[in-house]
Amino acid sequence: MRRQFPRGIPALLASACLAVAQPGPPAAGRVVLGQFDDGSSVTFVQAGSAGWGIEIAGPHRARFSQQQSVWIELYGGDADIRQLAAGYNTVRKLASGVTAQATVDGGNGVAFAVTDQWSVKGAVLSLSRKVSVSGNREGAGFYSAIRLHSDPDLTWPDVSFLAPSLLYGDTTYNGRGPGGTAYDRARRYSFREDYLPAPLFGVSLRNGDSLTILDQAPQGHTTTQEATIDERFSFG
């Protein structure tokens, strides 16, 4: 089993898009990680058998949430690509933050054990992810991600996007490449870290809120050969 992206948060940059959050079952428990400088809170919410999810919200601020915080794309071949997702099985509050764990069944004897370390400081929410794989599948690979969903009242026209050197809100003159008009029409931006001078993606909302995703410890390792999957690829 080979992994396509390194542990941590780079996979956030692989698919940074807004989606409508779906209502879930009533919360059975809450663990508050902490607060940002603007008063918004980061809270882990338990929703029955769905496990623990994460919610970021505050007075007069946009709300982002994700019930299935562990997302894995499993590649078994060009005709065998599966999307797997799970909520956390356990959430533990520590002095340094929150440790959350989940197990994802990949089928055929393959399983992913995920440990996420979350912390809040100032205006920054940090995630460090460790993924351990048990089992083996020849020629397969995977990457992991964390995806945050916006509330239904936040729509695509309410948002402007920033990706250094590729996208500065208006896509009119960006051509066909990444950050171009075709991506805006599809309402989906996708960038590899090695396209960017800095591994950063920003979102500016019309209500004045903003959200920036940054890989604080990027690894740009790659190869000169063309390949579908290679364990030496470590960019997000």
Q: Helix/strand/coil (H, E, C) string of the chain?
A: CEECCCCCCCHHHHCECCCECCCCCCCCEEEEEEECCCCCEEEEEECHHHCEEEEEECCCCCCEEECCCEEEEEEEECCEEEEEEECECEEEEECCEEEEEEEEEEECCEEEEEEEEEEEECCEEEEEEEEEEECCCCCCEEEEECCCEECCCCCHHHEEEEECCCEECCCCCCCCCCCCHHHHHHCCECCCHHHCCCCEEEEEECCCCEEEEECCCCCCCCCCCCCCCCCCCCCC
Q: pLDDT of 54-105, one tens digit each?
A: 999 887 778 899 999 999 999 888 888 999 999 999 999 999 999 999 999 9
Q: Would you state the pLDDT for residue 180?
A: 85
Q: Would you state the pLDDT for residue 70?
A: 96
Instruction: Write down the domain spans for the chain.
Output: 2-154
Q: Would you state the pLDDT for residue 179?
A: 84
Q: Would you state the pLDDT for residue 38?
A: 84
Q: Would you state the pLDDT for residue 225?
A: 73
What stretches in the chain show pLDDT beneath 50?
2-27
